[in-house]
Chains A and B, each alone.
Chain A
Amino acid sequence: MTTTAPTSTYDDETALQVAFDAVIERHERIEPRDWMPEKYRSTLVRQIAQHAHSEIIGMQPEGNWITRAPSLRRKAILLAKVQDEAGHGLYLYSACETLGVSREELTQKLIDGRQKYSSIFNYPTLSYADVGTIGWLVDGAAICNQVPLCRTSYGPYGRAMIRVCKEESFHQRQGYELLATMMRGTDEQRAMVQESVDRFWWPALMMFGPPDADSPNTEQSMAWGIKRDTNDELRQKFVDMSVPQAKTLGVTFPDPDLVWNEERGHHDFGQPDWDEFMAVIKGSGPCNAQRIAHRKRAHDDGAWVREAAMAFAGFEARSARTSTTVVARSARTSTTVGER
């Protein structure tokens, strides 16, 4: 046994790290089969999974209103939007799976509470105006977060975000239009919009995560090019965007400290209740238990469909081999039930 040189494994690892760092340095993308540091991989799995779960859980608060939306037009819009959220979840799950985790594992970790989703979806949708407010403020905040992620360093994640961002614009505009329509209505409708905005403003600001000083992962994530802006930078951008939109709409935000700062060229604003944020993340929000129970029920209730589809696929494959495809064909049309 000698101590002359480092082992070849060590050398290989160093060379791989150097190559990885060089790709990040050039602002190029890391692709699934590239070598990557384990911490980079696990950070991405956590972030993409959290993002995917948010899209899937995010179907619930708005889905509640599909049957109660006031017209066929509004029902069709809401249905299309909720379907988009399912699609976004699927883009992101498949991006996450390229990092070597399975869909089943991701679903299980969501249901067991081992992986998180955005805290915003643990708040209830108490009035129909909330559908508009979610589109305007919640999807608006999501867009602020997501646009820079189109340039994230992990290829599949960036490509999924490009698709998501293209579709989010419809979400935000339909929400704003819905609220604008209500604001042209009765006093009662205007009050309903203001009440909804009052409830969602602070939780929307929380969507950007804790202040930079309390966000230990931000620095490393930015060094790796996973994140492109800090939580506070994005929050500021969102506030600056939203203030003139609120003015046009004719609503106010429930923040006495919200004021234009000429010197900074930005709005000053108050801090959300970060204790509430932590409590909701830890599971004590108004709807945490309900959201997870609903997701679990949907997953359990769909188990027989997933199993039947696999059994049918196996039957089909065997039939093809024994040339009894006629039977399979006739059975086929009635059994293609989607996962969702």
Chain B
Amino acid sequence: MTGIQAEWPLYEIFVRGKRGLNHVHVGSLHAADDEMALRHARDVYTRRNEGISIWAVRADAVAASSPDEKDPLFAPAGDKVYRHPTFYAIPDDVPHL
């Protein structure tokens, strides 16, 4: 058979544990297509009621920042202390603030 990839593509799997929670990354698996990815995810990652909803995303469709680039992507967060509530001094006797 020509034109067949040797290996099924990789999918990243996200599971919503219960209503009110975000989908959380739980791992990855190989599948030929989206539907198979969901079926496999159900068998591999939710054998004990671990979730009520699954997202399967082709791994090659995920754009990721790279932690080892020493890049300034996350650096500005460090020097903007005024973004945090503890930056502001409030008298101790002011309630509910």
Contact = CB atoms under 8 A, between A and B. Distances in A.
Contacts of A35: 68
Nearest to A304: B1
A274 B33 CA distance: 47
A16 B35 contact: no
Contacts of B21: none
A121 B54 CA distance: 34
Contacts of A95: 27
A314 B3 contact: yes
A200 B26 CA distance: 35
Nearest to A306: B8
Contact residue range for chain A? 35 or more
A189 B67 CA distance: 58
A16 B68 contact: yes
A312 B1 contact: no
A255 B49 CA distance: 43
A206 to B, nearest CB: 30
Interface in B30-49: 30, 32-33, 35-36, 39-40, 43-44, 47-48
A87 B8 contact: no
Interface in B53-76: 64, 66-68
A31 interface: yes
B47 A33 contact: no
Q: Count chain A CB atoms within 10 A of each CB in B26, B32, B66 and give the residue with the most.
A: B32
A83 interface: yes
A228 B7 CA distance: 35
Contacts of A80: 47
Nearest to B5: A310
Contacts of A159: 27
Given A91-B27, A307-B1, A332-B35, A339 B67 contact: no
Interface of A: 16, 19, 31, 33-35, 80, 83-84, 87, 90-91, 94-95, 97, 102-104, 159-160, 163, 167, 306-307, 309-314, 316-317, 332, 336, 338-339
27 contacts: A16-B68, A33-B66, A34-B67, A83-B43, A83-B47, A87-B47, A91-B44, A94-B27, A94-B28, A94-B29, A97-B10, A102-B7, A159-B27, A167-B47, A167-B48, A306-B8, A307-B1, A307-B4, A309-B32, A313-B32, A313-B33, A314-B3, A338-B39, A338-B40, A338-B43, A339-B8, A339-B40
